[in-house]
Amino acid sequence: MNNLVIIPGEKPTLQKSAVETIIEIEEKLKEYTAMRDEYRAILLKGMEEKGITDILDEETGLHIHYNEAKDSLETFNKKQFREEEPDMYDKYVTFTGKKSAYLTVTQK
């Protein structure tokens, strides 16, 4: 499995089978994501119409919670606060570890 990335010259590439597998997985993911989104829209509409906020399937543990739309959301402008109050920003900001490495895969 560690032989997927190859460097035949100066340009790293993937084995043909790896490229095909990634493309196949990405296509399936798009298909399943579309199916999920469509199904969730149907569930959302049904829950709204019936005034249901929670569904719990005891056997599987599946829990679906309806979060109603909000007209206005409170947000915090971190960039503006950092610019206008740099001392307070430095006093209250904390750094908690690091972000794990990850891949971004796109297909044209």
In this predicted model, what pLDDT tens digit does every residue of 25-55 receive, in sequence order? Answer: 999 999 999 999 999 999 999 999 999 999 9
DSSP string, 25-91: HHHHHHHHHHHHHHHHHHHHHHHHHHT--EEE-TTT--EEE-----S------HHHHHHH-HHHHHH
Per the domain annotation, does 84 fall within a domain? no
Per the domain annotation, does 107 fall within a domain? no
pLDDT the model gives residue 15: 87
Q: What is the pTM of this model?
A: 0.62
- Report how many domains make up the chain: 1
Tell whether the model's pLDDT for residue 66 goes beyond 60: yes
pLDDT digits (tens, 9 = 90+) for 72-87: 889 999 999 999 999 9
Per the domain annotation, does 74 fall within a domain? no
Which residues span the domain enclosing 27? 1-68
Per the domain annotation, does 79 fall within a domain? no
